[in-house]
Amino acid sequence: MASSSSSSSSSSLSSILSIVVVLILIVSTAESVKSPFHPRDLLPHLPRQVSWPILNSLYGAADLLPTFIGTASSGNDSVDWKGACFFENTAWLEFHNKSGSEFGGGTLHIKADKAHSWTCMDLYVFATPYRVTWTWYFISRQHTVEFPEWDGKAEYEYVKNKGVSIFLMHAGMLGTLQALWDVFPLFSNTGWGESSNLAFLEKHMGANFEPRPEPWVTNVTTDQIQSGDLLAISKIRGRWGGFETLEKWVSGAYAGHSAVALRDSEGKLWVGESGNENDKGEDVIAILPWEEWWAFEQTKDDSNPQIALLPLHPDVRC
């Protein structure tokens, strides 16, 4: 009887705390006056059985998607925006050569002001095509992000002409971490990771995965593959499986990427596929012999790729 009474009391307390926190959240959204704290900031300090259901309802995988604010460049150009925590923000870029290198570096200045509470923070991602960095701000003042040295002439010219891109994580640190908890299993190269990818697509995309009737493998000879035939590839576990799942989610596609079959003048079969890197680290379209490409997919690709052959319609062949 004692344990039953204790369990009932604990359940009642959790319910009361949940109701109180939800009411505070609702009321706080209507307040425009700066408060000492925001109710969301208290959630991690509540019992897990209280805080996690609320966190799951407030945040999700979509909170991993940053919001583009603008680009900060040199000169008199600056960018202004309203953040999730600080309502008045300004950023500008200053070039320098403290490193004494050929192209120097730069300092990104960010002035954050007018926080809506004393305990909130803003989380940012700063990017060029050559680097990505992140930081968070908790105090109203001028902050700096240092770029000691540009990555060669290409990055220097890019930043000089287009600036440094600024992205805001609207969910803040707490919401982003909660979203990461939802997404982290997608990158596990295990059966758990594979199941997590399928469950993620079912939940967020509304995708249906119905078992195909056996046999599950179709025997296709290379003689049946012609120029222009499409190879739709879907990876569902490991690093690339996780990335492709997120790509499917935001794009609505049901394949991670595709490759195309090509035959040369002698009838030899090749595969053209993007997403490969050259010696300079640049993304290029690689053209590989069929045998090499197929052997890699069968024996070396541990992301469990699902490959579908989609023949080009005879009416549109050359």
161 & 245 share domain: no
Angle at 83 between CA 82 and CA 84, to 5 degrees: 130
140 & 254 share domain: no
35 & 68 share domain: no
Residue at which a domain ends, from 124, 144, 176: 176
69 & 40 share domain: no
Q: What is the pLDDT of residue 70?
A: 92
Q: What is the pLDDT of residue 63?
A: 57
Amino acid at 181: W
Domain carrying residue 125: 63-176
Tens place of pLDDT for every residue, the chain, 318 residues? Answer: 444 444 554 555 455 445 544 544 444 444 444 444 455 555 555 555 555 455 555 455 565 677 899 999 886 678 999 988 889 999 999 999 988 888 999 999 999 998 877 777 888 889 998 898 888 888 889 999 999 999 889 999 999 999 999 998 876 666 666 666 777 888 888 999 999 999 989 988 888 888 888 877 778 889 999 999 999 999 989 888 888 988 898 888 888 889 999 999 999 999 999 877 777 667 788 899 999 999 999 898 888 898 999 999 888 876
Residue at which a domain ends, from 150, 176, 202: 176
Structural domain count, the chain: 3
- Separation CA 13–CA 152 (nearest Å): 60
Query: Burial code of 88-121, b = ≥16 C-beta within 10 A, e = fewer?
Result: ebebbbebeeeeeeebbbbebbbbbeebbbeebb
124 & 13 share domain: no
Query: Coil, helix or strand for 87?
Result: strand
Paired sense of beta strands 86-96 and 257-263, if any: unpaired
Q: What is the pLDDT of residue 49?
A: 54
Could you tell me the two tokens for 270? 């090749």
In a domain, 182, yes or no: no
Q: What is the pLDDT of residue 78?
A: 84
Q: What is the pLDDT of residue 294?
A: 94
Answer for the pair 63, 179: CB distance below 8 angstroms, yes or no.
yes
| Residues found in the chain | 318
In a domain, 273, yes or no: yes
Residue at which a domain ends, from 147, 176, 205: 176
Q: What is the pLDDT of residue 126?
A: 92
169 & 192 share domain: no
Non-local (6+) Cβ contacts of 218 within 8 A are 309
In a domain, 80, yes or no: yes
In a domain, 133, yes or no: yes
In a domain, 44, yes or no: yes
116 & 34 share domain: no
